[in-house]
Amino acid sequence: LLARADTAGVFQLESTGMRESLKRLKPDRFEDIIAMVALYRPGPMDNIPTYINRKHGEEPVDYLHPMLEGILKETYGVIIYQEQVIQIAQVMGGYTLGQADLLRRAMGKKDKAEMAAQQARFVEGAEAKGVKRNDAITIFELVDKFAGYGFNKSHAAAYALVSYHTAYMKANYCEEFFAASMTLDMGNTDKLAMFASEARRSGIQVLLPCVNQSAVDFGAEPPKGDAKRGAIRYSLAALKNIGAGAVETITAEREKGGMYLSLADFANRLEPKALNKRGLETLAKGGAFDSLNSNRALVAANADTMLALAQRRSSDQAAGMVDMFGGGDKAPDLVLRATQAWTPMEKLASEFEAVGFYLSGHPLDNYQRVLGKLGVKKFTEFELASQRGATAGRLAGIVIAARERRSQKGNKFAFAMFSDMTGQFEAVIFSDTLAVCRELLEPGTPVLISVEAERDGDTLKMRVQSLESLDKAAAGVPRNMKVVVDRKVLVTPASKFADMRGYLKPSARGGEVRIVLPLEDKGLEMEFVLPGRFDVSPQDAGRLSAITGVSEIIET
């Protein structure tokens, strides 16, 4: 795990720069972890390449003097720890341990007069042990340089031990590790999005919140069937506008009365003071009611109806009127107002509003086939490439937010936040570019982003060079499409099959559209080609998939 740099969530080892260093180091002993914890700080960080190269035999190890080999062998001749400074003063300069510690403090204070006196003393002690004067001076100056930022090995070892423990937990109890980490950072949406992405990359499914399965904390679920990995159940309390108290009420009632069987059952058992209309809407948008009714738009639109039923039931119970409903055995019915189902894009947008990031999918999933043809990199791929010197790239993203500012010279600029399948990233847009792309910065807009980037330590700073509509760019990439429909739509008067042509835009440079009709005989299907060629954007494809009777959209 450490050699792969799979250290997201691992204490002290999770930053981008640290992970890149671990990947090159490939640690195989505890001492390597101690060294990396001590080295990965401003100053000693410059010695990381030397340490790595010497460990792998790509650079000769230099102990400065044979007398110091025992002190520096563990760190391949690199002075890393304050304890090494003290030992060098003792072994080579003839200091007592107490005197050597005073030397270490003097080096940290950089008192020129004191350091001149200490250098004379060190050189004298070294010469008495047979070290040449010039060698002693060189070693003292080198030790002085390292002592300014040397780290206590005792501290580094303690940190490294915690790092090892958390890495062990992640390697051997991965689902539980992610569930615990996400619970710990429940209030940090950016961290939750990162952990969800990392979990999926590890083969662990992140399940939607559910009123019948979720609790206050994130939960680890065991593997099912032939699956090698288990899953993480998303916390109800991590949703926007939902407090831990409300979730405890929901789970307490579930433990008392059993699973919720329907929306009506949930509403009848809901304590109305625990959740308001906004909270119910959030649960619906986040998918928490999917097990009871998969039409999230319908549930969200009827949040007031559910709350009214809960309030009526509560009032009747308080007034002793439960017998009106058959001694409490029959709950009042819940009459829902009919509501059009959300398109896949609308569904994801609402989910983002409730969760804080895209959880069950991503709007860019519909663009996967064209992104490669457009030369687009995923953000995490570009971030890694920037570690190796890349300064420009082409990304795709959904606009999350944009904040305009004014510079000291009065020019407008903006900080824009985007999201792709691997996470969220921010870039600055200066005035000239902002003037021509401002209309594309509406939240939810799919865009194609050309960026320039530079690294500032662990931070990747990006500047937008150009921004264009991803739909417009995708329209220039011809795509063929298969629309798989349920055969029943051909005989169902209420179907919206006829709406399909409304989403198909004729285009001489477009692709071919085929309608696929599976037959009752297993494995057989009828397929016919629509006359003409059509240009259908991924968003239009999403709307097509929402038409009653359309079971699948396949780009070919």
Does residue 404 lie within any of the structural domains?
Answer: yes
Does residue 305 lie within any of the structural domains?
Answer: yes
CB 106 within 8 A of CB 118: yes
Q: How would you classify the pairing of strands 513-518 and 481-485?
A: parallel
Q: What is the pLDDT of residue 321?
A: 63
Instruction: Please check whether residues 385 and 446 belong to one and the same domain.
Output: yes
Q: What is the pLDDT of residue 96?
A: 93
Instruction: Please check whether residues 200 and 315 belong to one and the same domain.
Output: yes
Does residue 12 lie within any of the structural domains?
Answer: no
Instruction: Please check whether residues 459 and 424 belong to one and the same domain.
Output: yes
Does residue 331 lie within any of the structural domains?
Answer: no
Segments in the chain below pLDDT 50: 323-326, 492-496
Instruction: Please check whether residues 397 and 289 belong to one and the same domain.
Output: no
Q: What is the pLDDT of residue 474?
A: 84
Q: Tell me the residue range of the domain where 75 lies.
A: 42-150
Q: What is the pLDDT of residue 324?
A: 47
pLDDT digits (tens, 9 = 90+) for 214-246: 999 999 999 988 888 999 999 999 999 999 999
Instruction: Please check whether residues 531 and 455 belong to one and the same domain.
Output: no
How would you write 279-319 as a 3-class SS string?
Answer: HHHHHHHCCCCCCCCCCHHHHHHCHHHHHHHHHHHHHHHHC
Does residue 29 lie within any of the structural domains?
Answer: no
Instruction: Please check whether residues 457 and 501 belong to one and the same domain.
Output: no
Does residue 543 lie within any of the structural domains?
Answer: yes
Beta strands in 407-473 (DSSP E): 412-420, 423-429, 446-456, 459-469
Instruction: Please check whether residues 308 and 381 belong to one and the same domain.
Output: no
CB 43 within 8 A of CB 149: yes
pLDDT digits (tens, 9 = 90+) for 383-399: 888 877 778 999 999 99
Q: Report the alpha-carbon angle 242-246-249, nearest 5.
A: 155
Domain's final residue, options 150, 184, 209: 150
Instruction: Please check whether residues 197 and 249 belong to one and the same domain.
Output: yes
CA 8/CA 22 separation, integer angstroms: 12
Does residue 162 lie within any of the structural domains?
Answer: no
Instruction: Please check whether residues 210 and 311 belong to one and the same domain.
Output: yes
Instruction: Please check whether residues 136 and 49 belong to one and the same domain.
Output: yes
pTM of the model: 0.80
Judged by phi (left if over 0) then psi (alpha if -120 to 50, else beta), residue 229 lies in: beta
Does residue 541 lie within any of the structural domains?
Answer: yes
What the block records as the tokens of 214 is 């979720």
Domain's final residue, options 409, 444, 474: 474
The domain that holds 273 is classified in CATH as 1.10.150
Q: What is the pLDDT of residue 494?
A: 43
Instruction: Please check whether residues 468 and 487 belong to one and the same domain.
Output: no
Domain's final residue, options 455, 474, 493: 474
Instruction: Please check whether residues 375 and 465 belong to one and the same domain.
Output: yes
Q: What is the pLDDT of residue 225?
A: 85
CB 479 within 8 A of CB 369: yes
CB 339 within 8 A of CB 295: yes
The domain that holds 453 is classified in CATH as 2.40.50.140
What the block records as the tokens of 543 is 């709307």
CA 434/CA 428 separation, integer angstroms: 9
Domain count of the fold of the chain:
4
What the block records as the tokens of 206 is 């992140």
| Residue 394 φ/ψ, nearest 5 degrees | -120, 120
